[in-house]
Structure 1
């Protein structure tokens, strides 16, 4: 017995597969990181802000443009900030008006600041001399870890993003 009707197997055409892959690629690049959150992006953002604060304080120390002689930043696990304006004592002032405050949003991120000197000892404040060198033991390098990013400070005072 012969069947006179032929069954046709249908599948996707090459064009349909390519269009589907392109749409999935666009979604994976744009939408997925927004839903999952990206601690890497947060780390780089906090690193860039902290780099700005450190370099500003260092330049003020080198140029002595500030009216006070205090060129210091305090470093806690969730905050990098100068002391209260016009003083060089106390602790970090999160309400400092000099735009040098870098504060981690702990409700949104699990990133913390961790500052280590050349001997791998933790430090909580850093200041700079008139030559731009850090007052910490940064003979070879000090490092401030920020999640997956980091800031390095060389013995000569070079402040840069490091791995």
Structure 2
């Protein structure tokens, strides 16, 4: 064999080191892809955010209607006055498998919150609410919140 000819490729030790690194990464990262903890809270918060904004838009579009609002239960957000848990375009229910780890909690207001025709949060009788900001909390392995300001601004906080 010619001395100027060089062998190219990987040594057995290099291959073993790469396989060990891939194995360690697989053992530590794969459970995160198959476990929903921490990510479901973000999904529920985003769904709740959309439903609350929808109720606000409905109240602003129908100026002759009574105030539109929502009710926060431990496992659901429904239009005000409705207690049934049904996943529809106007309601959100925490699924049965997530109920042991995720809860919805209203902060600084009772279970019902309405919006007037200007999109401002009010009580059922029409009195302005949320002087210091109202919150809907999504509690789980990660605690997230939706804030509703006095003038009607809704944001993730």
TM-score (norm 2): 0.74
Q: CA deviation at 1:106?
A: 3.6
Q: CA deviation at 1:107?
A: 3.1
Q: CA deviation at 1:27?
A: 5.3
Point out where structure 2 has 5 or more consecutive residues left out of the alignment.
Answer: 1-11, 124-128
Question: In 1, are the aligned partners of 2:45 and 2:145 still within 8 Å (CA)?
Answer: yes
Distance 1:64 1:23, change over 3 A: farther
Q: Say yes or no: does 1:139 pair with 2:103.
A: no
Q: CA deviation at 1:81?
A: 0.6
Please state whether the residue corresponding to 1:50 is helix, strand or coil: helix
Size of the alignment, in residue pairs? 137
Point out where structure 1 has 5 or more consecutive residues left out of the alignment.
Answer: 1-11, 84-89
Whole-Å separation in 2 of the counterparts to 1:103 and 1:49? 10
User: 1:39-85: CA deviations, max 9, x gaps?
Assistant: 311111110000000001101111228x95341111111110115xx
Distance 1:38 1:95, change over 3 A: closer
Whole-Å separation in 1 of the counterparts to 2:83 and 2:79? 5
Q: Say yes or no: does 1:22 pair with 2:46.
A: no
Please state whether the residue corresponding to 2:97 is helix, strand or coil: coil
Instruction: Decide which moves more: 44-53 or 102-111.
Output: 102-111
Whole-Å separation in 2 of the counterparts to 1:115 and 1:133? 17
1:154 is matched with which residue? 149
1:78 is matched with which residue? 75
> Aligned-residue CA RMSD in angstroms?
2.5
User: 1:72-123: CA deviations, max 9, x gaps?
Assistant: 111111110115xxxxxx43343485x1211012433421111112xxxx51
Whole-Å separation in 2 of the counterparts to 1:155 and 1:125? 16
2:92 is matched with which residue? 102
Q: Say yes or no: does 1:113 pair with 2:108.
A: no
Please state whether the residue corresponding to 1:151 is helix, strand or coil: strand
Please state whether the residue corresponding to 1:156 is helix, strand or coil: coil
Where does 1:57-68 land on structure 2 (aligned, <5 Å)? 57-64=55-62, 68=65
1:47 is matched with which residue? 45
